[in-house]
Structures are given as C-alpha cells and as structure tokens.
Structure 1
Amino acid sequence: MADNRQNIMEKAETRFLETQKKTAERAKATAEYQTEAKMRAQKTAKLRELRLAKEEADRVEAAALEPAPAKKKRVSRAKAAG
C-alpha cells in the first residue's frame, strides 16, 4: 500500500512539473509576442513620423517651386472671326 501511495505521489508530482513547465513556456511565448508587438508598433510609429515629415517637406518644396498661374491670352475678335 505504501508502494502504491508513493507511485501515485510520483505521478502527481510529474504531472505538476509538466503543468508548471507548460505554464512557464506559455508565459515566455506570450512575453515574446508582446515584445514583438510593441517593437512593431514603435517601428510603425517611427516610419509614419518619417513619412509625414517627408510629405510635409515635399509639400513645402512644391509650393515654393510652383510657378505663378499663367495668364490667359486674350483672343481678339478679329482673329476669332477669321
């Protein structure tokens, strides 16, 4: 009977250790996933900031280089009728 009890205790301890190991692995995987997600969000924010800055610089440059609107030439009535 003592042998049977010891066998049951060993099985229970083995299951407990396996459960602890799986829990630790799950926690580690979750932490890695969250770290990667945070890094991805930071990279996305940085790239967005750079893109917006470039778009603003391009807009300012285009406004500075934009020529004055061309005046329409008047068509004289004599040329239009001819």
Structure 2
Amino acid sequence: MRSIIEHVRQINAERTLVMNLCACLCVVLMLGLANLVCRYVLHTDMSFLMPWMLAATALYFFIPALVLWIATGNPSGK
C-alpha cells in the first residue's frame, strides 16, 4: 500500500488543489486553441476527440489528488 501511495505522490508531484486547477485550466485552454487551429487552419474536425481529451485531462489532474486526500488527509500528499 505504501508503494502505491508513493507512486501516486510522484504522479501528483506535490501539487496542491489550486495548482492542479490552474494546470488543468491551462491544458484545457491549449486544447481549445489546438482545436481552433485544427478546425480553421488545417480544416480537420477534431471535435469527436475533445470530450475524451478533456476527460483524460481532468482525470490526470484530479484523481491522484483525490487518492492522496483520502489516503493521507492532504491533497498534495505531504
């Protein structure tokens, strides 16, 4: 169990919930800009992938923090 917590702590990289939220918003913004570039510059429809990429982004940033919060009582895992 301790090695699982250590692995999740490495994934989270000691980010707090606010840091995870800001990083998630930055990635969502970049995905939106990439979608606009694909749509208007490359004339490619990537809208079918956007919900999957947004869900994966949210899971990447918030599931490790949630696991650490439940296991250690602190979202950053300290």
TM-score (normalizing by structure 1): 0.33
Structure with bigger RCO (C-alpha 8 Å, 6+ apart): 2
TM-score (normalizing by structure 2): 0.34
